[in-house]
Amino acid sequence: MIGGTYPLRSKDSDTTVTELNAIAAEVGNTGTEKFGKLTNAVVSFAPATNTAIITDGTGSITYYKSSGHGLKQGQTFTGDITVTVLNYNSLYSEVSSINATFEGEGAVVEPTTLTLAQLVGNYSTYQNEYCKVTELEVTAVSGKNVTVTDGTNTYVVYTNYGNATCSVGDKITAIGTVTKFGTTEEIKVWKADDLTITAHTPTEHAINFTQPEAGGSVKVTVGGTEITSGAKYIEGTEVKAEIVLTGGYNFTTWSITGAVNLSSTTSHVVTFKVGTSDINIVANLESSSVLTETFDLSTGYSNGQEVKTVTGTNATVTFDKGTNTNTPKYYTTGTAVRVYGGGYFTVSSTKKMSKIELTFGSGDGSNTITTDVVTYTNGTWEGSANSVTFTVGGTTGHRRIMGIKVTFE
Q: Is residue 401 part of a domain?
A: yes
Q: Is residue 130 part of a domain?
A: yes
Of all helices (H) and strands (E), which one includes residue 36?
strand 32-48
Q: What is the CATH number of the domain that holds 39?
A: 2.40.50
pLDDT value at residue 376: 97
Residues 156, 172 within the same domain:
yes
pLDDT value at residue 5: 36
CB-based contact 131:187 (threshold 8 Å):
yes
CB-based contact 192:161 (threshold 8 Å):
yes
Select from 198, 233, 256 the last residue of a domain: 198
Residues 170, 222 within the same domain:
no
Domain containing 151 equals 112-198
Residues 313, 389 within the same domain:
yes
Residues 64, 82 within the same domain:
yes
Q: Is residue 235 part of a domain?
A: yes
Q: Is residue 105 part of a domain?
A: no
Q: What is the CATH number of the domain that holds 175?
A: 2.40.50.140
For the chain, how are helix, strand and coil distributed in percent, rounded to 5? Answer: 5, 55, 40
Residues 301, 387 within the same domain:
yes
Q: Provide the domain count of the chain.
A: 4
Place 288 in a pLDDT band, splitting at 50, 70 and 90. Answer: confident
Select from 177, 198, 219 the last residue of a domain: 198
Residues 44, 146 within the same domain:
no
Q: How far, in Å, CA of 84 to CA of 94, rounded?
A: 8
Query: From the DSSP assignment, how many helices (H) and strands (E) are in the chain?
Result: 3, 32
Select from 241, 257, 287 the last residue of a domain: 287
Name the β-bridge partners of 154.
149
Taking 60 as the threshold, does the pLDDT of residue 402 lie above it? yes
Mean pLDDT score, 140-167: 96
Q: Is residue 8 part of a domain?
A: no
Per-residue exposure over 343-373, b if at least 16 CB sit within 10 Å of its own CB, e if not: bbbbbebeeebbbbbbbbbeebbebebebeb
Q: Is residue 253 part of a domain?
A: yes
Residues 328, 401 within the same domain:
yes
Place 13 in a pLDDT band, splitting at 50, 70 and 90. Answer: low
* Nearest partner of 281 among 202, 216, 169, 206, judged by Cα: 206
Q: Is residue 106 part of a domain?
A: no
Strand ranges, E, within 215-320? 216-222, 225-226, 231-234, 238-245, 249-257, 259-260, 269-274, 279-287, 292-296, 305-306, 309-311, 316-320
- Overall residue count recorded for the chain in this entry: 409
* CA 263 to each of CA 211, 266, 272, 399, 407: distance values in angstroms, whole numbers, following the listed order: 21, 9, 6, 56, 35
Residues 296-312 pLDDT 10s: 999 999 999 999 999 99
Residues 306, 404 within the same domain:
yes
What single-letter amino acid sits at 384?
S
Q: How far, in Å, CA of 64 to CA of 57, rounded?
A: 20
Q: Is residue 5 part of a domain?
A: no
Residues 152, 66 within the same domain:
no
Residues 162-211 pLDDT 10s: 999 999 889 999 999 999 999 999 999 999 999 999 998 889 999 999 99
Residues 193, 258 within the same domain:
no
Residues 301, 276 within the same domain:
no
Residues 318, 382 within the same domain:
yes
